[in-house]
Structure 1
């Protein structure tokens, strides 16, 4: 992706970077590889090798994002009768990288009858990342990047929330 934070012609191991579609329409399409794990699985590196002065090379992401839809945030808000518009996730580092289980603090705005109602804070959402991906109902066209991770406004059905 031109002019994005994680963009580079080569990864940390000198392998040319490429676009790799990891998931499409809910189906895992590919995995990300560095040289070590590509060799282990008998495939080519996807150009996702990362290095550090203090550790051996590992697999890392760059410019990970969800393909945007076509709806505006306002159109998405109007489709929600009662829900939460999450603007900030707290504690992402606590997501279990093996199981995908999470319990995160959130900040945002309550949605009621399709309108932004009132600010919320001190709430928690919990669940499993894979399950969450399967519950996506709508995806907006407003792709924004936070560092080298991109996301869109979306509706995720039936997320467990506490503290309202």
Structure 2
């Protein structure tokens, strides 16, 4: 007969879990580079955690955006206040609205902390991601958003921390 010790039970409660989880669905995606009158950039989208239970933060859609002046995007995570959603451009990946990797993170606490993360590469000409160029700007997005569902990686327990650094 196996007997569980108190230490075994506590260790199992706080063990880190890493597995596939409900995907993120992104709509209304737009990335823009503006050159005149001064250099600025903007990435905006709506994200939904498909099939997430209320204990997982629910599946309501939220609008997220990143905007900056100059060449390099911020390396910190930008939070949509009170939502648990964070996003940033993966440091070193931004070559313009035509080519970069976006990181989307959902952090939730319900009895224990949980974090879901998706790393999404955007490159002009792949998966329906198209760009139009004008003399003063470049605007990129999707003609058809049906392929905008991304697998997430789930982490729970002691390893599920808030994204850092936060803006």
Fold similarity call, TM over 0.5: no
Task: Give me the TM-score of the superposition, normalised by structure 1.
Answer: 0.25
Greater RCO (CA < 8 Å, at least 6 residues apart): 2
